[in-house]
Structure formats: C-alpha cells, structure tokens
Amino acid sequence: MAAIAVVCVVVASRWLPALGEGGDPAAEPASPAPEAASPRDEPLRPVKKPKATDNLRRETRSGYSINAPQHSYELAPELGEISDLALAADGQSLWAVHDEQPTLFRIGFDGQVLEQVDLGKKGDYESVAQVGDSVYVGRSDGEILVVDPKAQKVLERIDVHRRVGMACDMEGMAFDPKGQRLLLSCKNESLKSRQNGKAYELWEVSLDTKKVKKEPAYEIAEKALDQVGVKGKEFAPSGIAVHPKTGDLYLVSSRGKMMVVVGQDGEVKSAEDVDQKVHRQLEGIAFAADGTMYLSDEAHGHKAMLHVVSAP
C-alpha cells in the first residue's frame, strides 16, 4: 500500500498543475507582450499596379450580349455577302445590301427575303439607311444612291468621294434623326493620321443640301480605343448604327473583331470583343425602335447569318 501511495504522489506531482493560494492553479509568469509595431515600422510591400485594360471590358460593356444572341437565322444564298442592315420604314423589317450584287433587299426579322429592288449598275454596295420614305444605299467608292422602294427606282445619286476621299473605303452609313444627317464611316484610317496619330473619321452629310460637311463630324483616335480595352490599330469599322434611345453611335469592326460605342460628344464610351465562333464576319448593324439590335454576318465559307440581340 505504501508503494502505491508513493506512485500516486509522483504521478500527481508530474501531471497536475501547481496550486496557488485558495486552491487555484498557480499562474505561470507571463512573458512580456511584444510592442505593437507602428504602421511606419511595418515593411512596405510592393503593390502591383493593374494594367489599363484589367477588368475594363467587363466595366465598359454596352449591355448588349452580342456574343449570345437571342435568335440567329440563316440567310438565303443570295445574301451570302450581306454587308449592312437598316430598319425599314414599317418598323417590322430590315433593309440589306450585298456588296457584290446591285440589289436592295428587304428581309423579315427572321431573315426571310420579302422584297428586292434593282439598283442598276454593279458596284461594291456596302451600306444602307432609311430616311423618311427613301432608302439611301452607299458604295465604297463614295457614291450614294437615293432609292424609292415603292416606285422600285433610283431617284438620284450623291457623289461624296471628293470630300471623304477614295482612300476612305466607305463601308458604314446611318441616319441620325437628332441631327437630321447621314453619318458615314471610313474603313481605312484618316490620311491625317501620320500627323496627329492614327485615327478614323466619321463624315456628315446634310440631308438639306445633300453635301458632305467640310470637316469630319467625329474622329476616333487609336489611343482612345486602346484605353477601353481593344487594339485600336486593328479597328476598321464595317457598319454603324445610331441607338434610337441614347443617340450613341455603335460601330462594328470585322477586322479586329470588336464593337465600339461612341457618344454624341465623340467620346469613346465602351468597346468589347466579338466572338468569332458566333460572328464569322460581322458586317452590319441596325436597331429597332425598342432598342433590339440586329447584326449580320457574311457567309465566310459557311452560311450568312442574321442575329437578334435583346435590348439590355
């Protein structure tokens, strides 16, 4: 029994904490607390500066899901080289042109051909816009045809190439109801680019005089495009449309695969990439009155397409 008691005492003394006065465990002497470091004493960590384009696309998107259209329709073979779109006067169909065929097409929102108007001589027909009862059809060489679709004939021809220049390669045209003007977009950069940095011009045609203004209505600088996350040097607008509610200018560029939004003040507001898997060759753009967007793709070895994108 004595041996057992000795073992118990040894175990207890080894494993139980020492008791202080009143039977409480005796507190171990506390080590001195380290002094709080002053913010100035803390080592400075290098902060990685975000690139100008980091997360910028997400923040500056137009709101239109151009790479996830609500509907997509195959177009008829005769529209394989469709180059532009414009909302027709009835608000329920679209005008379209083919860049290798002298024909003005009216198609439904499902892409079905509803009407055809003969434009006469062959040419590179690249743009179209509805103004009142007339349809304006633009060629890349700077000639604009004024068409009466009801009478099925060309009323007059407007020559703008002397002002915009043959080097412009005019591929886009849109009616701006606020300014009562036509806006023309050049696919090629401005001839002034060498002096002031690369830029692209939008020209204005007065509907009263049917003449081009002496100076460009807008100049879109390569640097401004770079700042919103796209490669400005690859911009080459192939289509333009004016938003019916905001008045902003929407430009699509097949080369460089992008869509750019420019305000009426000329400021580049946003830009975003175009997914080539969805748009093989994006050429045309138009809006319905409610803001629904219509986009057209050339066949590019497959089928020409009409895409419907809901308003945000």
Question: Rounded CA gap, 237 and 283, in Å?
Answer: 9
The total of structural domains in the chain comes to: 1
Query: Which residue range(s) make up the domain with 145?
Result: 69-309
CATH code of the domain containing 240: 2.120.10.30
Question: Rounded CA gap, 304 and 116, in Å?
Answer: 18
Q: What is the pLDDT along the chain (312 residues), one digit of tens a residue?
A: 444 443 333 333 443 444 444 444 444 444 444 444 444 444 333 333 333 333 334 334 789 999 999 999 999 999 999 999 999 999 999 999 998 899 999 999 999 999 999 999 899 999 999 999 999 999 999 999 999 999 999 999 999 988 786 789 999 999 999 999 999 999 998 876 556 678 999 999 999 999 999 999 999 999 999 999 999 999 999 999 999 999 999 999 999 999 999 999 999 999 999 999 999 999 999 999 999 999 999 998 899 999 999 999
Query: Under a CB-based contact definition with an 8 Å cutoff, are residues 292 and 270 in contact?
Result: no
The 10 Å Cβ neighbour count of residue 114 is: 13
Judge whether 78 lies within some domain. yes
Judge whether 2 lies within some domain. no
Strand ranges (E), the chain: 71-74, 82-87, 93-98, 101-108, 113-118, 125-131, 134-139, 143-148, 153-159, 170-176, 181-186, 199-206, 218-221, 239-242, 249-253, 258-262, 268-273, 282-287, 293-297, 305-309
Judge whether 295 lies within some domain. yes
pTM above 0.85, yes or no: no
SS3 157: strand
Contacts of 265 (CB under 8 A, 6+ apart): none
Question: Rounded CA gap, 141 and 160, in Å?
Answer: 9
Judge whether 266 lies within some domain. yes
Judge whether 94 lies within some domain. yes
Judge whether 200 lies within some domain. yes
Judge whether 240 lies within some domain. yes
Comparing C-alpha atoms, which of 190, 188, 218 is closest to residue 204? 218
Judge whether 33 lies within some domain. no
